[in-house]
Structure 1
Amino acid sequence: MGDLIAERRQALETRWGAWTSTTLSGRFDMVAERFGDRPFVITDEATQTYAEVAAQSQRIAGGLADLGVRRGDRVAILIDNRAEFVPVKIAVARAGAVAVPLNFQYKAEELQAALAHSEAKVLVTIGHSMATDFLDALDAIAPGWETAGGGATLPTLEYVVVVGGGRDGALSLTDVAARGTDITPPETDPDSICDIVFTSGTSGHPLAAMLTHDMVLRSAYGSAYHRGFADGWRICFALPMYHVFGYVEGLLAAMFVGGAVVPRQVFNPRTLLEAVAREHVNEVLFVPTMTVGVVEEAAQRAYDLSSLESVFSAAAPAPVWLWERVQRELAPRTVYTGYGQTEVSAATALTMPGDALEVVSETVGACKLGGAAATEGYDGRLAQYRTVDPFTGEPLPDGAEGELSVRGPIVTRAYHADPERTAGMIEDGWLRTGDLGSVGADGYLRLTGRARELYKCGGELVAPKEVEDVINRFPGVGQAYVAGVPDERMGEVGAAWVVPDGDAVLDPEVLRRHCRTHLAAFKIPRMITIVAAADLPTTATGKVQKYRLAQSAVTS
């Protein structure tokens, strides 16, 4: 195993040589020139080669330029894991614009908040997802959007482009591509912003991490190097490409070896395993909830998984028994877990090939190797971690438990239009992660909890305040408190404690339906408890102690 990984890493380094900073579209064109006839995106409906994606992205970029998109303008992308996502993503970079990939589970008010905060000039959207009819949502947000854009509600939004059409009078993606002519790409600095990616809820104060071209490309190259991709490596995932896990660890990482991605629009263990067998997939990307479903399916039916070399499952802890089932049912050559977040361009830490299952279960790996993409001062890696006091931010001694803080060439430098959050979370290049843990003498990170209230449900970050605000708007609600509690399948799920207003009578199921109307599915509390204000645990000054509420949910 060690010799094989070393050979593959050397082949990658030989192919690309010393690191050269480029834009996303510039690097893609370099790959397409070498591997034009190879497949890059494989879906159930179509297979797109590198050359085809390049040509499509050039036409779409020309069309965006014809609409008035200029360097630095924001283009929001609301597309699920269908083939169109990729050429649109490359086209935005080619036009010198900034991509704002959006969660396709958003409801209308979440979409409005994201578009307003990002100050998007163009929205490229599908008609609907399983969660939301986006054309109806746009009708509610900005009536007449087909010809008037965002109107007074979203004054920066000039155009909405619909993938596949579906609304009379509205621009379709085909229309935009038809308007495109060969354009000379604007001079774009590789250190300029490539993506604005939302990390949390968007109805209150959204966190929108700004990632440069060089950040996402270095991170992707490091992933291909660290995990030892072979030439033509194929990766299958049902993770959304608006999320850095699917985007960087899947799409961009595969690009560096002329590989392909096999994105799934919906997570279904059976059809995913069928795709792995049919397309001779080498690696799958999961969060633990997906891993459980896949190993259960593989235990029930026979699939040809002989091509599968690697299983990478991250975003939440996974017990040893689950990794044992992965090895037994899927039989990969190696397994990985990792650690990262949107602000750090996906994974900054990964376990090593061949690590014992106990290591993969009890740690989240050591800082990701960078190969040629590493910068001076990081010992060949792409990040450096330390711990700080969660309250004062002061650095702690080596090995001490505290809040994990990270810096490196792939770590964001700021949040879009949010100087307060930037100042509070980033200091001298060090980003405070919000996670509690320690850095061992071996360099491996061990997580012990969360320093702040944000929690991850199925790999998606949830801001309790956003959920509380939605619940508090329901008639008869006096107070609402939300916290994350451990869950074996989802990592964490939301629990809500709701105090009625006066004599109001509240029904948890009715409250859950109210949340379902306004929030993406992963934000909806799994448990809702109606409580009296007197029963809430508080400090001496009257502040509600959410950690005690969460403890009560666990013990009950």
Structure 2
Amino acid sequence: MSPRATRAVNLAHTLTKTARRLPESTALVSGPVRWSWRELDDAVGALAHLLHERGVRPGQCVLVHSTNHLEYVQTMFAVWRVGAVLAPTNVRVTPADVAGIARTCRPVALVCHRDFPEHASAVTAEIPLPAGILWIGADPTDEDGVAAAGSPIPYTDAPVRVGAPAWYFFTSGTSGAPKAAILTHDQMGFVLTNHLCDLMPALTERDVSLVVAPLSHGAGTHVLPQVAVGAATVLTRSGTLDGSEVWELVERERVSNMFTVPTILKLLAEHPDAGVRDHSSLRHVIYAGAPMYAADQQHARRVLGDVLVQYYGLGEVTGNITVLPPRLHDHPSPDGVEIGTCGYPRTGMQVSIQDETGHELPAGRQGEICVAGPAVFAGYLNNDAADAAAFRDGWFRTGDLGILDDHGFLYVTGRASDMYICGGSNIYPRDIEEKLLEHPDVSEAAVLGMPDPVWGEVGVAICVPVPGACLDPDELRRWLEPRLARYKLPRHFLLWDELPKSGYGKVVKRTIRSQLHARSWPPARPRAVS
């Protein structure tokens, strides 16, 4: 039989179906503005028509740089409806970073929030934009504004085939040449279904979702299952995370689910309003993107109840590696493993722990976490070298280290690149960080290896005190000594006011390393630990 081009379902069709079924129900909420599904669908059709009129064609890329906004959601579905590829950026990156991303994905159009003209100028200085720039948040009278897309014009979802790109997902970090993971319509259709199956079972049009993380990454993916079932999505109005606003919205809108990252969840659970606002409507508070330390996880559970849902994954697998539902957050760790599990493999996915040669390791043995299944991306955009490094014998190599227990639960023990070697011993920071966060006066902690003329590398622990606490590095060292094997004990303990984080809330260790070098590393040799 000759190969055939199998048709896939355009992601925009999730909106098309819901708008037919629930035209007058609430789709999006932002402050006093409430759009019905019919209004959102009409707005998407009008913008898709405008993009087409400007020359955007199926398979071409549209770059999006904006804070969360009603028109951001409109833009996502309009780009897909016309058959083009969405390429959203982290709103916190520099104009030069966005220009670098544009060099990689070669967009024909840019949709940019009006507050970021420097970013738009950097892109236009780098590459031509034949379809021009459209502005989010512009006055409706501005002919280049998304809001000026015009009266509702029916626009049929463009046909797409299996393997057609839908989303260029730029991986965390913008140092060096950025990498764009290609997410396809059919792959994202599986992710959407899997989110409904594993993360938010029984989600319906009666549910309400709150967006507290950037739509450019995980929170944007989280919108898709809401649209598919007809659940309303609420956007915050603050430019930064405002715990008071979040808890007021949870109470007022009867929010039932939200996607967060561990740092956001920690801040929300520690906010005073979490103890006074009614959050009994919450059923699924999903957190992902980085490990959540046990102390923070336990506090969030005490405050919010058994509503936490953890998933583990990377952008290249759109988060679809493991899931830990609320009822399993007390799953016991096996002997010798002092961290909690991130759950069991997602439906339809397979996890393998492999050694350096690609051989699968038995339960209890640490190795690289590798994954296979329909959620794995199609590869990197125009980057054969990155593809070759990321795949081995068909498995996607995450670069994370982990252990599977006898029941198939996964434990992420560290990032391979985080490991350092001190005096010939391999040291993985996560266990040390978990221990530090058990100290009542430590709010955040990061441990990394730094160069040392005697030991090769030594551990450096950077701790952020809880507000009002007075930490002493020597006391912290003495407190930690009986809780760790001696070879794991950091040689240096530093106190900082805050840890540098990415736009998605992850602690960025390469920035910490750069800051330590900028502060004339190494410091004076510390007193020997006897």
TM interval, shorter chain, is: 0.7 to 0.9
Q: Aligned to 1:276, which of 247, 250, 274?
A: 250
Deviation at 1:329, TM superposition (A): 2.1
Counterpart AA for 2:410 = L
| Structure 1 segment 353-432 matched on structure 2, within 5 A | 353-357=326-330, 362-368=340-346, 381-389=347-355, 391-432=356-397
Cα distance change, pair 195–325 in 1 and its aligned pair in 2 (3 A): same
Q: Aligned to 1:525, which of 504, 511, 514?
A: 511
Cα distance change, pair 125–395 in 1 and its aligned pair in 2 (3 A): same
Deviation at 1:79, TM superposition (A): 2.0
Cross-structure match for 2:406: 441
Deviation at 1:520, TM superposition (A): 10
Cα shift readout 1:326-374 (whole Å, capped 9, x = no counterpart): 233223x432211011111223211134114355970111112xxxxxx
Cα distance in structure 2, aligned partners of 1:23 and 1:408: 20
Q: Secondary structure at the match of 1:42?
A: strand
Q: Percent identity?
A: 24
Cα distance change, pair 44–438 in 1 and its aligned pair in 2 (3 A): same
Q: Secondary structure at the match of 2:320?
A: strand
Deviation at 1:30, TM superposition (A): 1.4
Cross-structure match for 2:92: 105
Cα distance in structure 1, aligned partners of 2:48 and 2:447: 40
Cα distance in structure 2, aligned partners of 1:60 and 1:158: 13
Deviation at 1:427, TM superposition (A): 3.2
Q: Aligned to 1:195, which of 161, 167, 175?
A: 167
Q: Does 2:220 align with 1:247?
A: yes
Counterpart AA for 2:117 = L
Cα distance in structure 1, aligned partners of 2:263 and 2:521: 37
| Structure 1 segment 286-325 matched on structure 2, within 5 A | 286-298=260-272, 301-325=275-299
Deviation at 1:285, TM superposition (A): 2.4
Cross-structure match for 1:260: 232
Deviation at 1:450, TM superposition (A): 0.8
Cα distance in structure 1, aligned partners of 2:292 and 2:203: 27
Q: Does 2:179 align with 1:214?
A: no
Cα distance in structure 2, aligned partners of 1:212 and 1:76: 16
Does the 8 A contact of 1:110 with 1:519 survive in 2? no
Query: Mean alpha-carbon deviation: is it higher for 284-293 or for 93-102?
Result: 284-293
Cross-structure match for 1:68: 55
Cα shift readout 1:185-232 (whole Å, capped 9, x = no counterpart): 432125311000101333522111000112222212211222313322
Q: Aligned to 2:147, which of 162, 168, 174?
A: 174
Cα shift readout 1:241-262 (whole Å, capped 9, x = no counterpart): 111x2122x2112223221222
Counterpart AA for 1:187 = P
Give TM-score, length-normalised by structure 2: 0.75
Does the 8 A contact of 2:67 with 2:214 survive in 1? yes
Cα distance in structure 1, aligned partners of 2:103 and 2:273: 47
Cα distance change, pair 344–157 in 1 and its aligned pair in 2 (3 A): farther
Cross-structure match for 2:493: none
Q: Secondary structure at the match of 2:280?
A: coil
Counterpart AA for 2:203 = A
Counterpart AA for 2:317 = V
Does the 8 A contact of 1:71 with 1:186 survive in 2? yes
Query: Mean alpha-carbon deviation: is it higher for 111-120 or for 444-453?
Result: 444-453
Cross-structure match for 1:223: 195
| Structure 1 segment 9-88 matched on structure 2, within 5 A | 21-88=8-75
Cα distance in structure 1, aligned partners of 2:282 and 2:504: 33
Q: Secondary structure at the match of 2:104?
A: helix
Q: Aligned-pair RMSD on alpha carbons? A: 3.7
Give TM-score, length-normalised by structure 1: 0.72
Cα distance in structure 1, aligned partners of 2:294 and 2:119: 43
Cross-structure match for 2:105: 118
Does the 8 A contact of 2:71 with 2:146 survive in 1? no
Deviation at 1:270, TM superposition (A): 1.3
Does the 8 A contact of 2:13 with 2:157 survive in 1? no
Q: Secondary structure at the match of 2:387?
A: helix
Cα distance change, pair 254–156 in 1 and its aligned pair in 2 (3 A): same
Cα distance change, pair 300–383 in 1 and its aligned pair in 2 (3 A): closer
Q: Secondary structure at the match of 2:64?
A: strand
Q: Does 2:120 align with 1:138?
A: yes
Deviation at 1:47, TM superposition (A): 1.8
Structure 2: gaps spanning 5 or more residues: 1-6, 334-338, 421-428, 438-442, 453-495
Does the 8 A contact of 1:382 with 1:409 survive in 2? yes
Q: Secondary structure at the match of 2:160?
A: coil
Cα distance in structure 2, aligned partners of 1:51 and 1:80: 24
Does the 8 A contact of 2:311 with 2:319 survive in 1? no
Cα distance change, pair 270–127 in 1 and its aligned pair in 2 (3 A): same
Q: Secondary structure at the match of 2:103?
A: helix
Q: Secondary structure at the match of 1:84?
A: helix
Deviation at 1:37, TM superposition (A): 1.7
Cross-structure match for 1:470: none
Cα distance change, pair 45–530 in 1 and its aligned pair in 2 (3 A): same
Cα distance in structure 1, aligned partners of 2:299 and 2:518: 41
Deviation at 1:397, TM superposition (A): 3.7
Cα distance in structure 1, aligned partners of 2:53 and 2:172: 33
Deviation at 1:95, TM superposition (A): 0.4
Cα shift readout 1:487-541 (whole Å, capped 9, x = no counterpart): 956675889889xxxxxxxxxxxxx9xxx9x9999758347234899969xxxxx
Counterpart AA for 1:384 = Q
Q: Aligned to 2:300, which of 306, 323, 326?
A: 326
Work out the number of aligned pairs and report it. Answer: 446
Does the 8 A contact of 1:234 with 1:260 survive in 2? yes
Does the 8 A contact of 2:100 with 2:177 survive in 1? no
